Chain A
Amino acid sequence: MSKFKKKKGGDLPAISTASLPDIVFMLLFFFMVATVMRDSTLMVVNVLPTADQIQKLDKKDRVMYIYAGKPSSRYTDKYGTGARIQLNDKFATVEEVGAFVLAERAAKRQELQNVLTTSLKVDGQTKMGLVSDIKQELRKVQALKINYTTRIGDYTQNLN
């Protein structure tokens, strides 16, 4: 008993798609592994400047993030176009940075509390005034290790 009838010769045989799932799975696993879920949605424009003398950031649990930049387009109606700071999921003023850092620090494990790094993800167009204010706040709460997070690239890309 034969399950398959022999095809009549002459026709081109159909291309086997049996390996398609394998290929798709391969891609799927790549993206699953490479994905990092964002824990906060960005509410600011965040085009980081580029630099090439960079060092890798510490492990994720030793880092807290401070975002700054112009509010993204859907928030401009409410918050205007002046650069702002974003902490977790909401806009914040400069004065709130210190409290944020202390809260973040208190939430970490004891042994990590002294090795925390603050990652500043600041949009390239931001004025230094705001960044200096943030830095000043960080100094007040003794969060002295900072990292200007940048994309990898030549500095000349910043200039256009």
Chain B
Amino acid sequence: MARRSAPEVNAGSMADIAFLLLIFFLVTTTIETDSGLNRKLPPIEDVVDPPIIKEKNILPVVINKNNQLLVEEELVELKDLRSVAMDFLDNGGGKGEDACDFCRGKRSPSSSDNPEKAIISLKNDRETAYKVYISVQNELVAAYNELRNREFSRLYPSMQMNFIEAQKIYDDPRTSIDRKLDLKPKLSIVKGMFPMKLSEAEPSKTS
């Protein structure tokens, strides 16, 4: 007697099994957040001789316990912070060897000499809400990024990209080494033009 062909396996329940697995993964999935603001903390060391910094080169930003923002002792709305910070960094009021040839600011003598000397000093209260602090950090980083974008596009128009995009390509592990070597000096030049000098004071205690 001829061999009978094997009977076909019923695949009708495959959809059920797949659904079961699907629902399991749907329930267990949490899309992880894996991005944020990178910061570097200053190391603890005793500064014996703190460098003397002119007051006009410091932009004091204070967040008080009611989450209000004080820039140079004046109440500022969060939405204006970016432009205030950019005006300060881009001021370029220095003369002689402090002069800044790429700044497009007002060159007011009472504001920062050049971006290299300009320091933003951030001070918060222990009662400040974290989300307000993050918003302020975000805006200050945005001010630096916007200026760096401007300079990057001005210096390297042939790249057809801005600083953020270039940095992203540089950080991407899939980028080839040749391209990284090409980008690295350009990025560091622009970073050097607007170094991120964000100093954070110890938070004040609310009395």
Which A residues are closer than 8 A to B by beta carbons?
17, 20-21, 24-25, 27-28, 31-32, 34-38, 48-57, 60, 117, 119, 121-129, 131-132, 135, 138-140, 142-152, 155-156, 158-159
Are A131 and B133 within 8 A (Cβ)? yes
Cβ of B96 < 8 Å from any Cβ of A? no
In the bound complex, how far is the Cα of B33 from the Cα of A28, in angstroms?
A: 21
Q: Which residues of A contact B19 (CB under 8 A)?
A: 24
In the bound complex, how far is the Cα of B15 from the Cα of A152, in angstroms?
A: 36
- Answer whether A28 and B18 are a contact pair too, CB < 8 Å, given A52-B142, A55-B35, A131-B133: yes
In the bound complex, how far is the Cα of B25 from the Cα of A49, in angstroms?
A: 27
Are A139 and B135 within 8 A (Cβ)? no
Contacting A at CB under 8 A, from B72-107, are 78-79
Q: Among A55, A140, A158, point to the contact of B134 (Cβ < 8 A).
A: A158
- Chain A nearest CB: distance from B39 CB in Å? 5
Cβ of B159 < 8 Å from any Cβ of A? no
Are B18 and A124 within 8 A (Cβ)? no
In the bound complex, how far is the Cα of B31 from the Cα of A147, in angstroms?
A: 18
Selected A-B contacts with CB under 8 Å, 8 pairs: A24-B15, A34-B29, A36-B30, A50-B134, A57-B36, A132-B202, A132-B203, A144-B43
Q: Among B31, B129, B139, point to the contact of A34 (Cβ < 8 A).
A: B31
- Chain B nearest CB: distance from A113 CB in Å? 17
- Answer whether A125 and B129 are a contact pair too, CB < 8 Å, given A139-B44, A142-B43, A150-B35: yes
- Chain A nearest CB: distance from B37 CB in Å? 5
In the bound complex, how far is the Cα of B23 from the Cα of A24, in angstroms?
A: 10
Are B135 and A135 within 8 A (Cβ)? no
Contacting A at CB under 8 A, from B1-51, are 11, 14-15, 18-19, 21-22, 25-26, 28-44
Most buried by A among B29, B124, B126, B130: B130
In the bound complex, how far is the Cα of B39 from the Cα of A144, in angstroms?
A: 8
- Chain B nearest CB: distance from A124 CB in Å? 3
Most buried by B among A52, A54, A128, A150: A128
- Chain A nearest CB: distance from B93 CB in Å? 26
In the bound complex, how far is the Cα of B40 from the Cα of A159, in angstroms?
A: 25
In the bound complex, how far is the Cα of B142 from the Cα of A32, in angstroms?
A: 36
**Residue in chain A with minimal CB distance to B139:** A155
In the bound complex, how far is the Cα of B14 from the Cα of A108, in angstroms?
A: 42
